[in-house]
């Protein structure tokens, strides 16, 4: 496994694979890898001949009062997981390499970044779209893998790839969960035992909404109200949003008639967790 800290070394390693006719799979990450990342990497390993993982805590996608400084950095453990899965290259740049002095170019996806995390975290998706574009330009993968837990990020990347004619196949991989339903996230490690206990409210609320829809409930506003109530009644939890949106347009729905995204963001102290279900009636 190559660990590449420069763009030229990364390109060089991948070029050899590409020239040998290998299909390049790419898993962009911010490190602090967990079982969810392992599933993405294994998917890439199964479907591609050569797998590249990037590990980069991207400063431009964090707001000024967010957790950039304390975001977990666990490179040694990450490296061991990548090696165990059989990753070929880890691209491990510094912020200075990715955003050198004088850097001034950003990528912005407009409409679908407005609600949900885009509303709560201004500038977040601009940072994500920018860094993913840069990573795509460096790695030039055939296929890139993202987790469904970040549903809005997935839609943003799909939109960006389509709009900017990037010749990359985007694969969305189902959310991986702890046995009690909590979606795997690098941020789960911030939770103290009591918060961790109550954090299953996200999954339990999504399951409840799914059951309500299956039983015939179609009133999205009523469901959103009930979702918010469930979160507000949970000790330690503070609601950021509870929304039901049209999955294609990310616009609000009144009556649930087609594929919807049911999405939640909840704070436990400073830790913000997100989760979602895609429900097709």
Residues belonging to the active site: 37
Q: How far is the CB of 12 from ligand PAF (least distance, A)?
A: 22
Task: Report, in Å, the least distance between residue 244 CB and ligand PAF.
Answer: 23
Query: Residue 176 Cβ, how far from ligand PAF at the closest point, in Å?
Result: 13
Beta strands in the chain (DSSP E): 2-4, 24-29, 50-55, 89-91, 143-147, 169-173, 237-246, 260-268, 271-279
For ligand PAF, the closer of residues 234 and 276 by Cβ is: 276
Of 58, 185, 234, 271, the residue at the interface with ligand PAF (CB under 6 A) is 58
CB of 218 to ligand PAF, least distance (A): 32
Residues in Cβ contact with 120 at an 8 Å cutoff, skipping those fewer than 6 apart = 240, 241, 265, 272
Q: Which of 89, 128, 223, 273 binds ligand PAF (CB under 6 A)?
A: 128
The answer to the question of residue 55 lying near ligand PAF (CB under 6 A) is no
* Residue 204 main-chain phi, psi, to 5 deg: -65, -35
Listed ranges 27-35, 68-76, 86-94, 177-185: which one lies at the site for ligand PAF (CB under 6 A): 27-35
Give all strands of the β-sheet with 271-279 in edge-to-edge order. 237-246, 260-268, 271-279
| 236 lies in the site for ligand PAF, by CB under 6 A | no
Question: What backbone torsions phi and psi does residue 29 show, to the nearest 5 degrees?
Answer: -140, 170
30 contacts ligand PAF (rule: CB under 6 A): yes
CB of 150 to ligand PAF, least distance (A): 5
Partners of 144 in beta bridges: 26, 170
Cα-based distances in Å from 236 to 22, 47, 175, 193, 272: 49, 42, 24, 11, 12
Nearer to ligand PAF, 29 or 195 (CB): 29
Phi then psi for residue 101, to 5 deg, are -50, 130
The reply on whether position 141 binds ligand PAF by CB under 6 A is no
Closer residue to ligand PAF, CB minimum distance, 150 or 275: 150
Residue of 28, 93, 118, 141 that binds ligand PAF (CB under 6 A) = 28
Q: How many amino acids of this chain bind ligand PAF (CB under 6 A)?
A: 10
SS (H, E, C) 166-220: CCCEEEEECCCECCCCCECCHHHHHCCHHHHHHCCHHHHHHHHHHHHHHCCCCEH
Return d(Cα 112, Cα 100) in angstroms, integer.
29
Binds ligand PAF by CB under 6 A, chosen from 61, 113, 148, 234:
61
Choice from 44, 132, 261, 262 touching ligand PAF (CB under 6 A) = 132
| Phi/psi of residue 273, nearest 5 degrees | -110, 145
113 sits near ligand PAF (criterion: CB under 6 A): no
- Which residues form the interface with ligand PAF (CB under 6 A)? 28-30, 58, 61, 128, 131-132, 150, 153
């Amino acid at each position: 496994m190559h660990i590449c800290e420069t763009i030229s070394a990364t390109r060089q390693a991948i070029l050899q694979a590409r020239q040998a006719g290998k299909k390049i799979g790419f898993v962009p990450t911010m490190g602090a890898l967990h079982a969810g990342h392992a599933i993405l990497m294994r998917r890439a390993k199964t479907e591609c001949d050569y797998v590249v993982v990037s590990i980069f805590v991207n400063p431009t996608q964090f707001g000024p009062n967010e957790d950039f400084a304390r975001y977990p950095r666990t490179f040694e453990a990450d490296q061991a997981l990548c090696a165990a899965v059989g990753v070929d290259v880890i691209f491990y740049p510094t912020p200075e390499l990715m955003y050198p002095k004088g850097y001034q170019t950003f990528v912005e996806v407009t409409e679908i970044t407005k609600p949900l995390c885009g509303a709560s975290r201004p500038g977040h998706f601009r940072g994500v779209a920018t860094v993913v574009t840069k990573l795509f330009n460096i790695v030039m993968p055939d296929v890139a893998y993202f987790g469904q837990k970040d549903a809005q990020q997935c839609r943003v990347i799909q939109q960006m790839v389509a709009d900017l004619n990037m010749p990359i196949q985007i694969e969305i991989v189902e959310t991986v969960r702890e046995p009690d339903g909590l979606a795997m996230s690098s941020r789960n490690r911030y939770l103290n035992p009591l918060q961790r206990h109550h954090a299953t409210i996200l999954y339990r609320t999504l399951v409840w909404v799914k059951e309500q829809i299956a039983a015939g409930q179609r009133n999205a506003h009523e469901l959103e109200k009930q979702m918010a109530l469930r979160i507000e009644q949970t000790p330690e939890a503070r609601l950021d949003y509870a929304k039901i949106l049209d999955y294609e347009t990310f616009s609000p729905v009144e009556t649930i008639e087609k594929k919807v995204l049911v999405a939640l963001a909840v704070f436990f102290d400073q830790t913000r967790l997100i989760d979602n279900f895609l429900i097709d009636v």
